[in-house]
Structure 1
Amino acid sequence: MQRMGMVIGIAAEHIAEYKRLHAGVWPGVLERIHRSHIRNYSIFLREPENLLFGYWEYHGRDFEADMAAIAADPETQRWWRLCGPCQVPLASRQPGEHWASMASVFHVD
């Protein structure tokens, strides 16, 4: 299992909409996430900085293939078209990233 954290900005005027969307994530999107071996997925909001912090645990064996399956899923693509305009990617993210990956520096069970 691999723990993964990521961060992205959110436009202040879209926070309420983003919360509304995530209060009722579509079952097909959740199923695709599950089939791609992602567990314990959480998103946290930090105001007033307007940052979203995402965390998940990846339990698969081929992360690139699982992420490609998520990206190719039509229902997930429709979901992203709703959520994407709310988000403000960080200028410091790596090429090809939307959410910026974070390095793990501490964990305790």
Structure 2
Amino acid sequence: MMRKGFLMKVYPDMHDEYEKRHNEIWPEMVEALHRHGAKNYSIFLDKETSTLFGYVEIEDEALWSKMATTEINKKWWAFMEPVMETNTDNSPVTTNLQEVFHMD
């Protein structure tokens, strides 16, 4: 299992909406995440900076990278675009983090 950490930004006035949309995540999105090897997926919010910290465990980097090309993922990105910083393809602006310590 591989661990991935990353940062994103939600707009300051959209904290509640961001959380609401994730509390109501579409079942087909969850299914696609599982099919692409995602497990133990969490997103945390620092309200002071509007920074999101994402953590996900994946089975395989190549399988995980294919998630971005799915229609359901593209639909989710378009749905989330009004509430967070995004790239021109609606994907979230993301900073990948390097793991420097882990303890089981």
1:100 is aligned to 2:95: yes
1:87 is aligned to 2:81: no
Equivalent in the alignment of 1:64: 62
Equivalent in the alignment of 1:14: 14
**Paired residue for 1:78, among 44, 66, 75?**
75
Stretches of 4+ aligned residues off by more than 2 angstroms: none
Work out the percentage of aligned pairs sharing the same amino acid. 30
Aligned residues: 100
For residues 8-47 of structure 1, the aligned pairs below 5 Å read: 8-47=8-47
Query: Separation in 2 of the partners of 1:59 and 1:65?
Result: 8
Shift of 1:97: 7.8
- Where structure 2 has 5 or more consecutive residues not aligned to the other structure, the ranges are none
Query: Separation in 1 of the partners of 2:99 and 2:55?
Result: 11
Q: What is the TM-score when the length of structure 2 is the normalising length?
A: 0.86
- Where structure 1 has 5 or more consecutive residues not aligned to the other structure, the ranges are 90-95
Structure 1 50/33 Cα, relative in aligned 2: closer, same or farther at 3 Å? same
Task: Compute the RMSD of aligned alpha carbons.
Answer: 1.8
Query: Separation in 2 of the partners of 1:58 and 1:36?
Result: 8
Whether the 8 Å CA contact 2:85–2:92 is kept in 1: the answer is no
Query: Separation in 2 of the partners of 1:88 and 1:97?
Result: 6
Q: What is the TM-score when the length of structure 1 is the normalising length?
A: 0.82
